[in-house]
């Protein structure tokens, strides 16, 4: 509308430097806590993403029978009746058997890695897998068997490989190695090429398509039964006491380690959210102080503002110009908070995850967005407060 220099001369900001600095410090601290907690939240999301076993709000855990001196040597696989009993439990949403291979498998990597080992394969319902990669299927006559490899196995291999003079391999390289499966049973033997399709965190085993296990069990081992030595259950909360009591009573062992890591993330997120809320509250209190400064500014200049209104100046325009006076302070507070969070995040990554830092770790996009949104929000609050007061002066 017009040059604001003259208006600045008419509507003067007087005094209050100390209290203004105090509020600026308060706003910076509040924003720092808020942005730091946001960044922590997104970082937790990022580091847990690969380790996530909790999917769509469900825990997926495997159960096996506890082997005691009493039941050693007996058939400790799950019977159909036991499976039905698990399925019928109100806290268990779904059950899937892990069908194990009943024939001998020797895996070797050929000339690439001079290493061979007896292994066993299992199969699991697809709905229980993190992601079913395309190509995870097998038909009779197919020489190549796709497998899903447990990340734990790879980790274990990499621990022991140097001691045996073997190269350590990454997940990416692991996927490109063709493994030879020498399968043998009472009814005969066959050699297959296996390709690792993906690595999974959910199952600490080697998974092959169900059709392959069933074919091998029938044609190599000569067995047709589908009893499972382990079962996977899908439940809302594996830490539910009632469920744990039931499983304990049945003498089923629960692989809870990963569930607990998922739980610890929930607790961590709770703490981070708490800090975030505290930061938000401090920021809001600081903003409230700025609103009071604005009200003071309006009260000190009521006569001159009234005269501007009489001359035809728009209340909206005056409100916007007066609110804008605080923008540099808001921007300064946001920048200081952002810079501090960015610095600490960089130090944190450098200190604790030295190997990961191959480029400067920038804060997550939502953190930048939050800083901008909060600055705009502060301006908006001031604008509406100022406009409301100015309307009353008309």
Partner 1 sequence: MIIEVSGLLPLFFEESKTINSDIWGKQISFTCGEKIHITAPSGSGKTTLMHYIYGLRHDYNGALKIFSKKLSAYTPEEMSELRRCRISIVFQDLRLFPELTIRENLEVKRLLHPSIPLSLIEEMTDRLGISNRLDKPAKICSMGEQQRTAIIRSLLQPFEILLLDEPFSHLDDENCRLSAQLIQEVAEKQNACIIYADVKTTSFFENQQLLRL
Enumerate binding residues for partner 1 (CB under 8 A): 1-3, 6-7, 9-10, 304, 307-316, 390-391, 394
Q: Would you say 51 or 306 has its CB closer to partner 1?
A: 306
Q: Would you say 52 or 300 has its CB closer to partner 1?
A: 300
Q: Which of 295, 44, 374 is nearest to 305 (CA)?
A: 295
Q: Smallest distance, Å, CB 385 to partner 1? A: 15
Tokens 């728009």, located at residue: 314
Q: Would you say 231 or 319 has its CB closer to partner 1?
A: 319
Q: Smallest distance, Å, CB 334 to partner 1? A: 31
Q: Smallest distance, Å, CB 13 to partner 1? A: 15
Residue 169 CA to residue 150 CA, distance in Å, equals 14
Q: Smallest distance, Å, CB 2 to partner 1? A: 3
Q: Would you say 1 or 376 has its CB closer to partner 1?
A: 1
Q: Smallest distance, Å, CB 378 to partner 1? A: 24
Q: Would you say 10 or 373 has its CB closer to partner 1?
A: 10
Q: What is the dihedral of CA 149, 155, 158, 163, to 10 degrees?
A: -120
Q: Smallest distance, Å, CB 316 to partner 1? A: 6
- CB atoms under 10 Å from CB of 325, counted, come to 17
CB 122 within 8 A of CB 217: no
CB 91 within 8 A of CB 244: no
Strand partners, 108: 116, 180
CB 193 within 8 A of CB 179: yes
Q: Would you say 17 or 311 has its CB closer to partner 1?
A: 311
3-class SS shares of the chain: helix, strand, coil, % to 5: 55, 20, 25
């Amino acid at each position: 509308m017009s040059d604001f220099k003259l208006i600045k001369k008419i509507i003067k900001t007087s005094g209050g430097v100390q209290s203004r600095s105090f509020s600026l410090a308060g706003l910076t601290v509040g924003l720092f806590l808020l942005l730091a907690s946001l960044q922590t939240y997104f970082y937790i999301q990022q580091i847990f993403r690969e380790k996530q076993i909790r999917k769509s709000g469900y825990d997926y855990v495997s159960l096996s029978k506890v082997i005691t001196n009493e039941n050693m040597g007996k058939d400790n696989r799950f019977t159909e009746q036991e499976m039905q009993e698990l399925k019928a439990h109100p806290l268990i949403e779904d059950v899937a058997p892990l069908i194990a291979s009943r024939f001998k498998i020797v895996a070797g990597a050929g000339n690439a890695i001079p290493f061979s080992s007896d292994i066993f394969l299992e199969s699991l319902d697809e709905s229980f897998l993190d992601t079913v990669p395309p190509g995870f299927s097998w038909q009779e006559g197919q020489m190549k068997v796709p497998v899903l490899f447990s990340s734990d196995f790879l980790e274990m291999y990499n621990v022991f490989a140097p001691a045996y003079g073997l190269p350590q391999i990454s997940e990416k390289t692991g996927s490109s190695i063709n493994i030879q499966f020498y399968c043998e049973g009472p009814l005969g033997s066959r050699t297959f090429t296996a390709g690792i399709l993906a690595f999974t965190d959910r199952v600490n085993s080697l998974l092959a398509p169900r059709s392959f296990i069933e074919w091998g069990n029938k044609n190599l081992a000569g067995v047709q039964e589908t009893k499972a030595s382990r079962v996977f259950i899908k439940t809302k909360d594996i830490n539910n006491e009632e469920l744990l009591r039931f499983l304990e009573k049945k003498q089923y062992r629960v692989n809870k380690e990963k569930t607990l890591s998922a739980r610890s993330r929930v607790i961590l997120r709770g703490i981070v959210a708490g800090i975030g809320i505290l930061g938000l509250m401090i920021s809001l209190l600081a903003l409230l102080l700025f609103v009071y400064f604005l009200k003071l500014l309006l009260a000190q200049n009521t006569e001159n503002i009234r005269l501007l209104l009489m001359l035809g100046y728009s209340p909206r325009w005056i409100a916007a110009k007066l609110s804008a006076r605080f923008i540099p302070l808001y921007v300064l507070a946001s920048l200081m908070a952002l810079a501090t969070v960015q610095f600490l995040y960089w130090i944190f990554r450098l200190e604790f995850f030295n190997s990961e830092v191959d480029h400067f770790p920038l804060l997550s996009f939502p953190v930048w967005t939050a800083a901008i949104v909060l600055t705009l929000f502060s301006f908006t609050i001031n604008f509406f407060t100022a406009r409301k007061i100015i309307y009353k002066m008309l």
